[in-house]
Amino acid sequence: MPTPETSPASQPNPDAVIETRGFSKSYGKFLALDSIDLSLPRASVGLLGANGAGKSTLIRSLLGIIKPTGGSARVVGFDTQTQGIKVREHVGYMPEADALPMSTTAADFVGHMAEMSGLPPRQARQRAADILYQVGLGEERYRLIKGFSTGMRQRVKLAQAIVHDPQLVFLDEPTAGMDPKGRDEMLDLVERIYTTMGISVVFSSHILEDIERICDYVVILDGGRLIASQPLGDVNALTGEIALQLESGADRFAAALAEKGISAKRMESETSSYDQLLVRADDERVYDVVRDVAVAQHAVIRGMRSQARSLEDIYLGNVGAAREVNRVD
C-alpha cells in the first residue's frame, strides 16, 4: 500500500479516493470543467453526464494526461500535480476510444502494460494470464488483438486497466459500441471489479440504467459543472407519494382529498388516457381516505402505486434546476 503524503493545510479526507478543490480545465475560452469540488468515497462511482458534459476531461485531468488549468486534486491520496507518477502507479485507466495495438496478442500487450506499471516481467506475465482469465479471455489470450470482436477488445482494455491491481480504476464509457449482450457482460465485469476484487471504480457513462445498475454513488456533470455528488442509496426509495389513476374526475377527487387534509396534484401524462393524481401519503391512513372518497364519488380507480425515486428523477431534477439557475444568473 502506498503512503500518501498529506498536507495539513489542505486537510484531505482520508476516506476519500478522489478529492478536488476548484478543479478546472478550459480549452481557450471554452470551460470544460468549472471549478469542481469533489470528495468521492471508496465505492463504485458513476460519472454521469451527457456527451460533452466533461466526464472524459475530468478523468484525463485526474490522471495527468491533460493539464488542468486551475484548482487541485488528490487521487488515492496523492497530489495529481506533484505526484502524478505515484497516482498513475496505483490507478488504472480504460479509455473510451480504441487504444490497442492490433498486431500483438492480448497476453503480450496486457503483460507489457503490467510491466509499464512497475511489475517485474515474470509477475507481469502471470498477472496478465490471470486477469485475462478473469475478464473471460483465458482461452483467447494468445490470439492477435486484430482478430477480436468489439466486446473482446473492450475486455482487453479492461484487463490492462486492472492488471497491476490498482486501488482505483477509471472506466471511460466501457460499454460504448457494444451490443446488448456484450454490454450486459461488461456491466457484470465492472460490478465484479468493485464487489469481488475490491478495486474502487469510477465508471463514466451517459446511460442512466448502467449507472443505476452497478454504482452506489453518482456524480452528475452538466456543461462542465458539478451538478450532484451523492450516494445512490436513496434511489428506488419511496418518495412518500402515491400515483393514482382514475377513469375520470381527477379534479373533483383532489378537492375531496383536500377537504380531508390530504394534498393531491394532477399529473399530465402523454402515455396514459386516464386522469392521474399524485397524492401525498404521510401515513397509512391515506389509503383509507382514498377508498372512502372513491366510494363516495363512485370514482373508478384504474391503478394505484407508491412512487419511487429513480436516477432519472435525480438527474433531470438536478440538471434542470442547475440550468434554471444558470438562466436566471
Residues forming the site for other proteins (CB under 8 A): 27, 60, 63-67, 84-85, 88-89, 91-93, 95, 97-105, 108, 112-113, 115-121, 123-124, 127, 130, 133-134, 160, 164-165, 192, 196-198
Min dist. Cβ of residue 67 to other proteins (A): 5
Residue 184: left (phi > 0), alpha (psi -120 to 50), or beta? alpha
Q: Residue 154: enclosing H or E segment and its boundaries?
A: helix 150-162
Min dist. Cβ of residue 144 to other proteins (A): 8
Number of H helices, E strands in the chain: 10, 14
Which is it for the CA torsion 31, 174, 234, 237, positive or negative? positive
Min dist. Cβ of residue 179 to other proteins (A): 23
DSSP secondary structure, 155-224, as one string:
HHHHHHHHTT--SEEEEESTTTT--HHHHHHHHHHHHHHHHTT--EEEEEES-HHHHHHH-SEEEEEETT
N residues, the chain: 329
Nearest CB to other proteins, comparing residues 63 and 254: 63
Min dist. Cβ of residue 89 to other proteins (A): 4
Nearest CB to other proteins, comparing residues 165 and 239: 165
Min dist. Cβ of residue 131 to other proteins (A): 8
- Give dist(CA 149, CA 272) in Å, integer: 42
Nearest CB to other proteins, comparing residues 74 and 88: 88
Contact yes or no for 68/62 (Cβ under 8 A): no
Q: What is the DSSP letter of 270?
A: S
Q: What is the DSSP letter of 321?
A: H
Nearest CB to other proteins, comparing residues 204 and 245: 204
Nearest CB to other proteins, comparing residues 1 and 9: 1
Nearest CB to other proteins, comparing residues 63 and 281: 63
Min dist. Cβ of residue 80 to other proteins (A): 12
Q: Which residues contact 234 (CB under 8 A, 6 or more apart)?
A: 309
